[in-house]
Amino acid sequence: MAVKGRLIPVPNLDDRDWRAIKDEIVRAIPERTPEWTDHNLSDPGITLAEAFALQIEQLIVRLNEVLPKHMREYLNMIGVTLTPPSSAKAFCFFRTTAKPSFDITVLKGFEVSTSGAGGEKPVVFSTDKDLVIHAAKLKKFLADQGGTFADFTNDARDPATVFSPLPVVTVEDAIYLAYDEDNYFEKLIVDVAAPAAGVTGVWEFFEARPDGTGSWEPLDVEDGTLGFTQSGTVEFQVPARWDATTVAGVRATWLRYRITAIDLGSVFAWLRKLDIDQILGRVSCSNAVTVPEEILGASNGSSDQRYFLSKVPVLDLTVVVDEGAGFQEWNEVDDFSASGPADRHYMVNRGTGEILFGDGRHGKVPVKGTGNVRARPYRFGGGIKGNVGAGTIIQLRQTHPFIASVTNKEPASGGGNEETIQEAMLRGPAEVLRTRNRAVVAEDFETLTLESSTGIARAKTLPLFDPADPPTPKPGLVSVIVLPKGGAPLSLALRNQVREYLDARRLVTTQIFVVETEFIPVDLTVTVVKTPEANPVELEATIRAVIQEYYDPEFGGDPSQAVAYVAGTSSERGNGWEFGRDVFRSEIFELLERVGGVDHVEGIAVPVGTVPIEEFQLPRVQDLIVNVAA
């Protein structure tokens, strides 16, 4: 089920002003009874109209509101609540103060933040798990010759050993260097005993993509060894999406030097030692603040006890109870249906902060005590404010003797405000009555993806779709396209969150990829002739806004709504441009003809009459030129 939040507010049936109904009656008099010409308040007929208006308004209002009211009541009855704000996520890179000779641990809940420059309140993030930055030494050093791997790890660590990892050099041979997963270095110190000759190569790292796939990509380095022809250093900046991969059965953060060309008589270098420096560790962080401990209250020994946390919405927490033998951790469950009398279980509503214990038959009742029910620790936070840009999480809010700095190399994404009532009314029936918290058909994956975070605007399921090989259908594969709210990119941290959420609800035989939306740039040049009274500057701005709104991935797709929203005559927006829907030149004509102040459309220039959009793509207006003629 979705994360529990507030109950859906049921509207109070506030009556409309009866005068509006009376005025409608009066306006209908000339059409229905033209002989009735006196419409003053002194006329007895107007008095009767007022009396009827008082009665009719009550019936009309209730008839108009009863279905939405009942819908909300039914959703509350079946357990659909407003999904609380979701926390934005980003991978944060922690740099050590010096080259570590021992393991450094950054505990879960360690807080960092944006700078708060310009008087803005800092946006706080905290680590989602313990980060261990291992001692600065190579985990593995492998040589690949024609697909055969040889391990030179001990040789690379020992300055007394001179070794040749590639005794016979051929194109595509490579050396691989590994550090522990989520650990990185930006400086490789190479001790060359005998220089290489006639060998050209390229440094590469394994780049992870938000669709779950990855590939080896060139790494921009400052090579002080000049291609292993002398001792020196290889320095670079850790890329944002350098991810762990498996080489020769070892999963780690890998870097490689691949031979791309050789000359006659070429030889690779003899090496004495390789060392690493400038160490970083990477960990997922969420827009949340940590509360170390909070005393919830004292158990009175009764059933169905309820306690409330002071800070909401709750991201994660640990509840402990002292029953006479010291505080023990209890376990969170979705419900008490499978809980026995001795099971230390509790339920939590993350939106309201309510913690509920069992009744003695389904879930144990905490024994009576004083201040013996506590939360230790828990994190709270969330909201769209957490979708901060790359390189903005730079402040350490806590001191750590071995950590010098922090940064996020990609924007944070996935932060969303509390689900609206309208969103819950659309999601609720699909979640409870159709998916039953399981992902089977395509629509289930979309519903559950939206459920995983309120920071996701749209989701599209592509059955049998392999992101690495789109043209070939693959049985058992399901790709889910994710579009975060507000145009934020799909961060690796948010991708992992969605994938973990779907993994827990998929069929065993299903493999899931979470795919970043691919945008196709569309260049447009439009020329319109204005009406005599239209201001050309204002009309140009309006046309630009209408076109951008029409092709907006989150709210576009409907020409009438786009025009009305930009004009300010309606607050309703579209449901977003449909995935895979082509861009037709003829539709742009239709759109512009709806804009007030346009006499006629003189011309529209696009690269082609129809811009083809694949099923996993959306259009994005890139270069837009608007000409307004008199």
Please state, in angstroms and rounded to a whole number, the distance separating the CA atoms of residues 440 and 507: 7
Res. 349 pLDDT band, cuts 50 70 90? confident
Classify residue 181 by its DSSP letter. Answer: T
Three-point CA angle 461, 465, 468, nearest 5°: 125
- Kindly tell me if the per-residue pLDDT of 170 is higher than 80: yes
Instruction: Give the residue with greater pLDDT, 593 vs 433.
Output: 593
> Which range (273-282, 332-341, 366-375, 437-446) has the least confidence?
437-446
Per residue in 350-374, pLDDT tens?
888 999 999 999 999 999 999 999 9
Do residues 329 and 343 make contact, with C-beta atoms less than 8 angstroms apart? no
Q: Is the peptide bond before 44 cis (omega within 30 degrees of 0)?
A: no
pTM of the model: 0.74
pLDDT (0 to 100) of residue 452? 86
Q: Which residues contact 54 (CB under 8 A, 6 or more apart)?
A: 18
- The residue type of 77 is M
> E-strand spans in 6-59?
none
Which residues pair with residue 131 across a beta bridge? Answer: 106
Do residues 126 and 111 make contact, with C-beta atoms less than 8 angstroms apart? yes
Q: Give the length of the chain.
A: 630
Per residue in 99-154, pLDDT tens?
999 999 999 999 999 998 777 899 999 999 999 999 999 999 999 998 899 999 99
Do residues 527 and 601 make contact, with C-beta atoms less than 8 angstroms apart? yes
Burial of 74 (0-12, 13-18, 19+ CB in 10 A): middle
Please state, in angstroms and rounded to a whole number, the distance separating the CA atoms of residues 69 and 616: 37
Query: Tokens 């009576």 map to which residue?
Result: 368
Do residues 365 and 356 make contact, with C-beta atoms less than 8 angstroms apart? no
- Kindly tell me if the per-residue pLDDT of 46 is higher than 80: yes
Per residue in 496-512, pLDDT tens?
889 999 998 898 899 99
Residue 29 sits at φ, ψ, to 5 deg, of -60, -50
CB atoms within 10 A of CB 508: 4
Q: Which residues contact 34 (CB under 8 A, 6 or more apart)?
A: none
- Kindly tell me if the per-residue pLDDT of 434 is higher than 70: no
Do residues 510 and 439 make contact, with C-beta atoms less than 8 angstroms apart? yes
Structure-block tokens of residue 173:
């041979």
| CATH pick for 421-518 out of 3.20.20, 3.30.300, 3.40.50, 1.10.287 | 3.30.300
Share of the chain above pLDDT 70, in %: 92
Per residue in 15-43, pLDDT tens?
557 787 788 888 888 888 888 888 888 88
Nearest to 416 by CA among 462, 461, 482: 482
Do residues 389 and 120 make contact, with C-beta atoms less than 8 angstroms apart? no
- Kindly tell me if the per-residue pLDDT of 408 is higher than 70: yes
Distance, C-alpha 475 to centroid of its chain: 27
Nearest to 499 by CA among 430, 603, 414, 584: 414
pLDDT (0 to 100) of residue 326? 92
- Kindly tell me if the per-residue pLDDT of 68 is higher than 70: no
Task: Determine the average pLDDT of the residues in 458-471.
Answer: 89
Share of the chain above pLDDT 90, in %: 58
pLDDT (0 to 100) of residue 62? 62
CB atoms within 10 A of CB 47: 11
Mean pLDDT across the chain: 88
- Kindly tell me if the per-residue pLDDT of 553 is higher than 60: yes
Three-point CA angle 137, 143, 144, nearest 5°: 140
Task: Determine the average pLDDT of the residues in 451-478.
Answer: 89
- Kindly tell me if the per-residue pLDDT of 426 is higher than 80: no
- Kindly tell me if the per-residue pLDDT of 1 is higher than 50: no
Say if strands 124-127 and 511-516 run parallel, antiparallel, or are unpaired: unpaired
CB atoms within 10 A of CB 203: 17
pLDDT (0 to 100) of residue 210? 63
- The residue type of 536 is P
Helices (H), 140-259: 153-157
pLDDT (0 to 100) of residue 174? 95
Classify residue 109 by its DSSP letter. Answer: T
- The residue type of 364 is K
Classify residue 17 by its DSSP letter. Answer: P
- The residue type of 101 is S
Res. 432 pLDDT band, cuts 50 70 90? low
Please state, in angstroms and rounded to a whole number, the distance separating the CA atoms of residues 345 and 363: 6
Nearest to 489 by CA among 465, 457, 443: 457
Per residue in 223-252, pLDDT tens?
999 999 999 999 999 998 898 888 988 999
pLDDT (0 to 100) of residue 14? 46
Residue 129 sits at φ, ψ, to 5 deg, of -155, 170
Please state, in angstroms and rounded to a whole number, the distance separating the CA atoms of residues 218 and 221: 9
Residue 222 sits at φ, ψ, to 5 deg, of -105, 100
Per-residue H/E/C for 388-409: CCCCCEEEECCCCCCEEEEEEC
Q: Residue 141: left (phi > 0), alpha (psi -120 to 50), or beta?
A: beta
Q: Is the peptide bond before 377 cis (omega within 30 degrees of 0)?
A: yes
Please state, in angstroms and rounded to a whole number, the distance separating the CA atoms of residues 16 and 23: 13
List C-alpha distances in Å: 596 to 191, 564, 585, 586, 603.
73, 10, 20, 19, 17
Please state, in angstroms and rounded to a whole number, the distance separating the CA atoms of residues 137 and 279: 10
Q: Which residues contact 154 (CB under 8 A, 6 or more apart)?
A: 161
Burial of 580 (0-12, 13-18, 19+ CB in 10 A): middle
